[in-house]
Amino acid sequence: MSFQPVCRADEVEPDSAKLVILDGRKIAVVRDSDGTVHAIDDTCTHEEVSLSEGDVDDCTIECWLHGSTFDLKSGQPLTPPATEPVAVFPVRQDGDDLLVDVSVQIGAN
Ligand code: FES
Which parts of the chain sit beneath pLDDT 50? 109
CATH 2.102.10.10, domain 4-100, yes or no: yes
- pLDDT confidence of residue 1: 63
Q: In what order do the strands lie in the sheet with 91-94?
A: 4-8, 97-100, 91-94
> Would you call 51 helix, strand, or coil by DSSP?
helix
Ligand 1 atom nearest 45 alpha carbon: 2
Task: Please tell me if the CB atom of residue 43 comes closer than 6 angstroms to any atom of ligand 1.
Answer: no
- pLDDT confidence of residue 106: 80
- pLDDT confidence of residue 28: 98
Ligand 1 centre and the CA of 37: distance in Å? 22
Q: Give the angle subtended at the CA of 85 by the CAs of 12 and 97, to the nearest 5°.
A: 25
- Beta bridge pairs of residue 37: 31
Ligand 1 centre and the CA of 93: distance in Å? 30
Ligand 1 centre and the CA of 91: distance in Å? 25
Distance CA 35, CA 15 (A): 8
Which tens digits make up the pLDDT trace of 38-59?
A: 999 999 999 999 999 999 999 9
Ligand 1 centre and the CA of 94: distance in Å? 33
